Structure 1
Amino acid sequence: MCRIFGSLSAAPALPDPGELAAVSARQRHGGPDEHRVLRGPGWSLGCDRLAVTDPRGGSQPYRLAHLPGITAVFNGEICNHTELRRELAARGHRFPDGCDGTLLPALYAEYGPDFARRLDGMFAVAVLDLRAAPRLVLAVDPLGIKPLHHHQGPDGTFRFASEIPALLAFDGVRAVPREDSLDTVLCLRTPVSARTALEGIGLLPPGATAVVRPGRAPVVRRRPPGPGAAETAPEAAGEGVREPLRREVRRLARADVPVCVLTSGGLASGLVTALAAEEARAAGAPAPHTFHLALRGRPPGAEDARARQTARRARTVHHEVFLDPAELPSLLTRTTRHLGQPDADPAALLAYALFRTVRQAGYTVALTGDGADELFGAPARLHAAASPSGGDWAASYTDALGAAPRMLRSWLYTCDYRAHLAGEGSAADRVERELRSRPDGDRLAAVTAFETRWRLPAGPLRRADHLGMAWAVEARMPFCRPALIAHARTLAHARTLAPARTLAPAAVPDRRALYGAGRGLLPEAVARRPRQPPALPLAALIAPGGPLLEPVRELLSPRRLARDGRLRPERVRALLERQLERPSEADALALWALAAHELWTEVVRGMRVPLDHAA
């Protein structure tokens, strides 16, 4: 697990070492164990390493003595590296260590830009091929768990980095927020596409490979998906989840560094906890350590009691961490800087604090339950798409996805901003067009494809990666492994109604498969409990006496908003006054999204120094 960066230019000059050092410094929190940069005429490759597999080997950038023209850098984990190593050794390749990324130059030499189809894992890879005409090949895993951000300047120079703040340290990469970034945050809570919230900065799409030649625009292609799983009968759904999940937990729980489990109190993380403990007992290893974080004061919906029940049933060494709500304002800027893009999900604050605790306790790898809700149909927005015949199901879905409904957005925007969006199209418009574009009209397939291809990587997976790596913790997600993804897909297709092929309530994927998987492994209160969102009660936090009220009030001051010109200050003030008189989660979320965007704009424009935990 690392942070990587690099550049490719048609100009023959050597990249400035001071500039490359500044780029490295911006993401060094994610790779504190080793820092190396290689550069040559018109190119650079660098890595900040978090040593997880073979900590004593695996020095990056990777070069093999018998392949001098190929250099690679890598962020992530290759689960099938042992099998690939045997295959490549049989073809005559030799490797100096057992690190998973060491085989990448040889794999590229054998398969060229198609090499990424052979990889099983979460990864972002950059390979520089100087054997003939220079070319840079970038690839990310099928879910985009490990990100690559990129920028191409007017002179054709192409630059990339794992994190946006690092990319902004390259000369010529400017921090210019997109005009539609505010609407994107209110519509979708965070940018949900290959286009980031900053002008000129893109994100390599999930499952994509890009080939870059000096001075030319990158050619980006999405790789074909891997083979699917066999269809699963509904009565076997629980076992169909449990067995592949058991295999993936067993695989991901193995590391050359300490591994723990994040136990939220929900069903998905409970399954991961129970199976990790089962694997430890089978191997004769000590019981795993589990971590749970909640706000002090036990707000409504607090999960600590259920997390404790899960840990007790699994016989783990359980750690309860209670965050004082008064500390939340101090986390705002740090969390925003590490995410790099605006994000209106307040759960990011808790995630940042939880990964901090995990790292301080000495752990480098954490297993999580991320991805289960999106893959197995829990989000209420899927049900919102199941509107009666004749209703606008795509609009219902996007409204459920957002932080503020469309009528409220229109009321808050200035006339000029509404006119701009009418001409360019809003973020909600783009999502609705994508949903409706499916030729067969299958609503279920449309919304689940959008959830897994765009929303899951942009929301939960981005937060797990960026906020985990903020503290040099690798988050591993068993539910995001190909076997579980394929199984979830077959269950969803099996419940699609024919011939109407609409997303009727009976066709919405439910949690029966997860319930079945948890039977006998988890306490009944956890195994049968409906999914609930993370317990961060915004209505109480942005209320008279609440710890987030003053930061939100300051970020949404009339002076700031008038200077920006996209929001009507008097109407934002009226929304805040309504929240103070009658606190509600809906109004609090809208205010939080507005404040999150304003803070991100301020932070990204002022980025001049490396990120650190004191900022």
Structure 2
Amino acid sequence: MCRIYGYFNAVASPNEMKRVGALQRHGGPDRTGLSRAPGWGLGSNRLAVIDLDGGIQPYEIEGRISAVFNGEIYNHDALRDRLRKRGHRFADRCDGAIIPALYEEYGEKFTDHLDGMYAIALLDLRERPKLLLVTDHMGMKPLYYRWDAVDRSLRFSSEIPALLGFEGLGTGVWGPGLDAYLASKTPFGEQTMFQEIKVLPAATTLRCTLGEAPEALHRPHATAQVPDDADRAAELVRDTLRTEVGRLLVADVPVAVITSGGLDSSLVTALAAERGPVHSFNIAYRGTWPFEERHFARQAAEHAHAVYHQVELDPATLPDLVEDVVWHLGQPNADPITVSTYALFAAVREAGFKVALTGDAADEVFGGYARMHAAHESAPAGPWYERYLDALAVVPAARRHSLYTDDYRLLVQDVPPIPAAALDRLRHGEGTVLKRITDFELAHRLPAYHLRRVDHLSMAHSVESRLPFCQPSVTSLGRALPDRLRIGGGKVKRTLYGAAAGLVPDAVHQRVKQPFTLPVTAMLAPGSPLWEMARDTLATGRLRPAGRLDPHAVDALFRTQELRPDDTTALTIWALMTYEVWQDQFQGSAGLVGAGAAS
């Protein structure tokens, strides 16, 4: 696991590269690797997880092929054996060391052989030089880049603040970004909140040949066959998950599990504990709050005979944590769970763990969200599309524009807040409504909203998150399930609940699903530290210069929250506060920027 960065067909001084690397060293504090030549440079910050003394990057083959790598390749031993039989030699057993040899054998199809999570930058100096930027099938390891069409140069990094360390890379805001953010809680698609910065989609190879514009090649997702019988399907999913959890526990450093108290993480905890003693971490909030889940997490850990670690977050520390979280994410994410995630992984690292397994992505893969259930149930007889999109948003579309100034409302009126092509496939694509929603969430919402959050906020503390539910063998099964084995009879995630039967406590298996998040509606109360921070951050004098938010509309939110608090109002205040913190950190008091093009 590492952080990577570099440039192609550009110029960067040694000090510039050191600055970029230093800005994301928290994600790879164990070793820095750097290689430069006229026109290109590759760098990495390593978090040593496999072969602790090896892993010297960039990995190279005689100056012809060089690569830097962030992630984990779970089948690296099998690939290394195969490549050795073809005459390749390796200096160590680090997983990323096989990448140049694999590319030499298979060319750009080398990704077909990789099983894992990864972001790779590979430089091929044979014949006409080219740089490949590659992401895994789910987008678990983000990669941000800036392409300059004038001088045909490209710069990239694992994190946005590090990318901004390159000289001449502007911090201008993408004009429609606020509207996109409030419509989906973080921008979907390739466009980030910065006008000049894009994020590489999942399952994508970006080929940049010297002197030419980049070309994006998108790889198809894996397919599978599943039994049509509910019991047999559940057994197959359980067996597949058991295998993947076992594979993801392999490391040369201690491995923990995250146990929220819900079905997904409790199942991962149970399967991990089958392999031997395991440490389980849960986060809760000091005091008495709604939606308390720690007792479910403790039951799941005790049922699995795991060593249970209860982390407590003091709500008084939230303002300081928000600042740190926004910086590490590089752009706003409206889910208050970001603060909990950041604090949780800090505790995991403090306890001596470099790797943690989580239950993320099960809801997207197996159909676990209430919005999926509502759309699936209503689609045959009535409208579902607008309600589904409103469920994704911070604030429903009908109310969102009332928060804006007239100028900003005019700026965004013709720009779709979610990429238009994605919305068209969601509404009119092939397959059932549930299948289209699943494809949309896996391709757009999951990487943008969940996976980048987990990656950035775990690596902020030098912890590698591993996600069994994102493994191709698991996601292909989830995609292949017929609708009735995913949602039906008033139940969600039917096959996954079947797979978990007997492995998790009955109290966890039978409980009503609820989101794992910060109880922000209760915490955002007059006089609390969070309230004072929000009031200060969203003060009229601070909002007017940017020209996007109507101060009177924002003041009305505070009056509503004070007198009649509700979840939507509280989340809107939180989201706007987070946006303003981001703007203070990265743009200062930047004014309106042109609308640009929606990706």
Q: Give the Cα separation in 1 of the matches to 2:570 and 2:238.
A: 38
Structure 1 residue 389 displacement after superposition = 5.0
Structure 1 residue 425 displacement after superposition = 3.1
Aligned to 1:586: 568
2:189 is equivalent to residue 199 of structure 1: no
Residue 540 of structure 1 contacts residue 546 of structure 1 at CA under 8 Å; is this kept in 2?
Answer: no
| Amino acid in structure 1 at the alignment position of 2:146 | H
- Are residues 490 and 263 of structure 1, via their aligned partners in 2, closer, same or farther at CA, if it must alter by over 3 Å? same
Aligned to 1:5: 5
- Are residues 419 and 431 of structure 1, via their aligned partners in 2, closer, same or farther at CA, if it must alter by over 3 Å? farther
Residue 299 of structure 1 contacts residue 535 of structure 1 at CA under 8 Å; is this kept in 2?
Answer: no
Aligned to 1:267: 263
Aligned to 1:251: 247
Q: Give the Cα separation in 1 of the matches to 2:420 and 2:83.
A: 48
Residue 262 of structure 2 contacts residue 296 of structure 2 at CA under 8 Å; is this kept in 1?
Answer: yes
Structure 1 residue 232 displacement after superposition = 4.5
Structure 2 residue aligned with 1:56, among 53, 56, 61? Answer: 53
Residue 345 of structure 2 contacts residue 457 of structure 2 at CA under 8 Å; is this kept in 1?
Answer: yes
Q: Give the Cα separation in 2 of the matches to 1:606 and 1:33.
A: 33
Runs of 5+ in structure 1 lacking a partner? 281-286, 497-504, 608-615
Q: More deviation in 215-224 or 322-331?
A: 215-224
Q: Give the Cα separation in 2 of the matches to 1:232 and 1:248.
A: 23
Residue 139 of structure 2 contacts residue 202 of structure 2 at CA under 8 Å; is this kept in 1?
Answer: yes
Aligned to 1:612: none
1:484-503 residue pairs with structure 2 within 5 A?
Answer: 484-493=474-483
Structure 2 residue aligned with 1:20, among 17, 40, 47? Answer: 17
State the secondary structure of the residue aligned to 2:475. helix
Deviation per residue, 1:7-37 (Å, 9 max, x gap):
101x6xx631011011001100000000121
Aligned to 1:310: 300
Aligned to 1:72: 67
Aligned to 1:350: 340
Runs of 4+ in structure 1 off by over 6 angstroms are none
- Are residues 507 and 597 of structure 1, via their aligned partners in 2, closer, same or farther at CA, if it must alter by over 3 Å? farther
Give the TM-score normalised by the residue count of structure 1: 0.92
State the secondary structure of the residue aligned to 1:68. coil
How high is the sequence identity, in percent, across the aligned residues? 48
Coordinate RMSD, CA, aligned: 1.8
Q: More deviation in 517-526 or 68-77?
A: 517-526
Residue 394 of structure 1 contacts residue 432 of structure 1 at CA under 8 Å; is this kept in 2?
Answer: no
Residue 339 of structure 1 contacts residue 467 of structure 1 at CA under 8 Å; is this kept in 2?
Answer: yes
- Are residues 598 and 431 of structure 1, via their aligned partners in 2, closer, same or farther at CA, if it must alter by over 3 Å? farther
Structure 1 residue 447 displacement after superposition = 0.7
Count of matched residue positions in the alignment of Structure 1 and Structure 2: 587
2:102 is equivalent to residue 110 of structure 1: no
Structure 1 residue 68 displacement after superposition = 2.9
2:389 is equivalent to residue 398 of structure 1: yes
Aligned to 1:336: 326
| Amino acid in structure 2 at the alignment position of 1:105 | P
1:292-441 residue pairs with structure 2 within 5 A?
Answer: 292-386=282-376, 387=378, 391-427=382-418, 432-438=423-429, 440=430
Q: Give the Cα separation in 2 of the matches to 1:299 and 1:485.
A: 34
Deviation per residue, 1:341-392 (Å, 9 max, x gap):
2100000000000000000111000011111111111111213424355643
2:506 is equivalent to residue 524 of structure 1: yes
Structure 1 residue 236 displacement after superposition = 2.1
Q: Give the Cα separation in 1 of the matches to 2:109 and 2:121.
A: 13
Deviation per residue, 1:424-449 (Å, 9 max, x gap):
333386653341241x3631121110
Deviation per residue, 1:483-531 (Å, 9 max, x gap):
11011112245659xxxxxxxx749982222222222111100012232
2:538 is equivalent to residue 556 of structure 1: yes
Q: More deviation in 113-122 or 509-518?
A: 509-518
Q: Give the Cα separation in 1 of the matches to 2:91 and 2:419.
A: 51
Q: Give the Cα separation in 2 of the matches to 1:201 and 1:428.
A: 16
2:455 is equivalent to residue 465 of structure 1: yes
State the secondary structure of the residue aligned to 2:437. helix
Residue 237 of structure 2 contacts residue 474 of structure 2 at CA under 8 Å; is this kept in 1?
Answer: yes
Q: Give the Cα separation in 2 of the matches to 1:53 and 1:232.
A: 40
Structure 1 residue 279 displacement after superposition = 1.1
Residue 139 of structure 1 contacts residue 209 of structure 1 at CA under 8 Å; is this kept in 2?
Answer: yes
Q: Give the Cα separation in 1 of the matches to 2:559 and 2:553.
A: 10
State the secondary structure of the residue aligned to 2:529. coil
Q: Give the Cα separation in 2 of the matches to 1:489 and 1:509.
A: 18
Structure 1 residue 298 displacement after superposition = 3.4
Runs of 5+ in structure 2 lacking a partner? 590-599
Give the TM-score normalised by the residue count of structure 2: 0.95
Aligned to 1:88: 83
Residue 231 of structure 2 contacts residue 498 of structure 2 at CA under 8 Å; is this kept in 1?
Answer: no
